[in-house]
Amino acid sequence: MFTVEHGSAVTLYDQLVGQFRARLDDGALIAGSKLPTVRQLAADLNVAPYTVARVYRALEADGFVETLGRNGTVVKGRAGTANELLQLAANEYAKRSHDLGIDAATAANYVRIALGHDRENPSVT
């Protein structure tokens, strides 16, 4: 989900902050999404854990994420907004469908049916 160019004139910190904000803006990261641990993301990107920790702290200071200690870091929505509430519900639905062994395509089809987008062909594969 994230990449860095080690030889870039743009600092690794700025690259990561920019990517996080872009993914928040385009909906790729939604409220309730759990972020990789600092160590995991640092290892995946071959950057210093300090850099990732600094990025997470900056995002938290700006209200984009929340650090929950040992429970990790999660994306925050704007408290009480319809978007935040729906994003949190989507995460709960995704977790529940995973726990029940329902594949992503079937779970998404159920949502389309519930939203009325597939009323003419409600069969689920």
pLDDT tens over the chain, length 125 residues: 899 999 999 999 999 999 998 888 777 888 888 999 999 999 999 999 999 999 999 999 888 899 888 888 998 876 655 666 677 788 788 888 988 999 999 988 888 888 787 555 555 54
| pTM given for the model | 0.66
- Report pLDDT for 119: 55
Residues in the chain: 125
* Residue with token string 């990449």: 3
- Report pLDDT for 79: 60
* CATH number of the domain enclosing 73: 1.10.10.10
Domain housing 87? 79-125
Q: Which among 51, 39, 44 has a CA at the least distance from the CA of 10?
A: 51
Considering the domain architecture, whether residues 35 and 46 belong to the same structural domain is answered as yes
Considering the domain architecture, whether residues 95 and 108 belong to the same structural domain is answered as yes
